[in-house]
Amino acid sequence: MGRVGEKLGIDFVISTGDDFYKNGLKGLHDQAFEESFTDIYTAKSLQKPWYLVLGNHDYRGNSLAQLSPVLRKIDDRFICMRSFIVNAELVDFFFVDTTPFQLEYWTHPGKHHYDWRGVAPRGKYIANLLKDLDVAMKKSTARWKIVVGHHTMRSVSEHGDTEELLKLLLPVLKDNGVDFYINGHDHCLEHISSRDSPLQYFTSGGGSKAWRGIFRPNKDKLRFFYDGQGFMSLQLNQDRAHFIFYDVFGNILYQWSSSKTGHPRTSTYLDEE
């Protein structure tokens, strides 16, 4: 990641959640923060802002500690919030807290404890989140709109599709012309194209515990699937988005581009394999 980051001259890094495995942070002074973040991403090119969402494993720890601005005093790169927007002029990144959507975590947590402080009751939290997201997207004048969440919307790997997101979140994305949905959760790399909208789904969850050996195709168009570890880069300009998936050594596994022509509100998409 460091070498690729240097080559591309990156502006910032995005983490798609499950930042601290396996049960989040115990508190503000948990050594896991340094062991899993500060001491790992030491390359000069990665000394940029990191924007992070919570994953389900983060919710199994002290989620309020992980969201605390105190962590930014320990490492000023670390910017983690529940749901927020990063405005980068030609693109708006909408970070969405997807863990509360999954009903199973609430009704059948099993041996796990989820830290729902600041979230419960679920229905009200999700309704407010979707309303705020819709309003923010309608106000956005950015050329590109990208949503980042932890959970899969579409996936052919172990977790597969997240039905609650397809039912509740996806309509908001389609209604507001979102270009890309980027997620983690499944421990692999994927690119899936929606068959009924221009929306593209990218899974970048290959940080660890990969090689699951599970493949479950769905009805959308699978363009790329790598059941292993790696990461993704995205380069954007006014007219083109260029995605690259890499393995752990920085070798390019797959790349894909999308071009926009015309006025932002009446864009036509030109896929480039």
The total of structural domains in the chain comes to: 1
pLDDT tens digits, residue range 45-74?
Answer: 999 999 999 999 999 999 999 999 999 999
How far is the C-alpha of 239 from the C-alpha of 236, rounded, in Å? 8
The Cα diameter of the chain in Å comes to 53
CB 52 within 8 A of CB 19: yes
Asked whether residue 267 is assigned to any structural domain, the reply reads no
- Give me the CATH number covering residue 94: 3.60.21.10
Query: What is the per-residue pLDDT across 251-271, written as a single tens digit (0 to 9) for each?
Result: 999 999 999 986 544 445 556
Q: What pLDDT was estimated at residue 261?
A: 80
Q: What is the CA radius of gyration of the chain?
A: 18
Six token digits for residue 100? 């509360």
Print the domain residue range for 47.
1-225
Binding-site residue positions for Fe cation:
18, 21, 56, 150, 185, 187
- What's the pLDDT tens digit per position in 82-104? 999 999 989 999 999 999 999 99
Taking the C-alpha atoms of residue 103 and residue 106, their distance in angstroms, rounded to an integer, is 5
Would 269 be classed as within a structural domain? no
- 235 within some domain: no
pTM for the predicted model, two decimal places: 0.95
Query: Is there a domain that residue 127 lies in?
Result: yes
Tokens of 163: 């039905």
Q: What does the mean pLDDT of the chain come to?
A: 95
Of residues 236, 245, 18, the one with CA closest to residue 145? 236
**Omega before 49 cis (within 30°)?**
no
Which percentage of the chain shows pLDDT scores above 90? 94
What digits encode the pLDDT tens for the residues 158-175?
999 999 999 999 999 999
* Residues paired with residue 148 on neighbouring β-strands, in sequence order: 95, 182
Summarize pLDDT for 222-246 with one digit per residue, the tens: 999 999 999 999 999 999 999 999 9
Active site residue 242: no
111, part of any domain = yes
pLDDT score of 96 = 98
**pLDDT (mean) for 33-49:** 98
Q: Is residue 107 part of a domain?
A: yes
Backbone phi, then psi, for 133, in 5-degree steps? Answer: -65, -45
Catalytic-role residue among 159, 191, 242, 263? 159
Q: Does 152 reside within a domain?
A: yes
pLDDT, residue 273, reads: 54
**pLDDT digits 0-9 by tens, 92-135:** 999 999 999 999 999 999 999 999 999 999 999 999 999 999 99
Confidence (pLDDT) at 185 = 98
Rounded to 5 degrees, what angle do the CA atoms 74, 246, 99 make?
A: 55
Better-scored residue on pLDDT, 272 or 246: 246
Sign of the CA dihedral running 131, 137, 140, 146: positive
The pLDDT, as a whole number, for residue 132 is 98
Cα separation, 263 vs 249, in Å, equals: 39
Tell me the backbone φ, ψ of residue 161, rounded to 5 degrees: -70, 150
Asked, for residue 131, whether it belongs to a domain, the answer is yes
Residue 16 contacts residue 97 (beta carbons within 8 Å): no
CA distance 92 to 143: 8
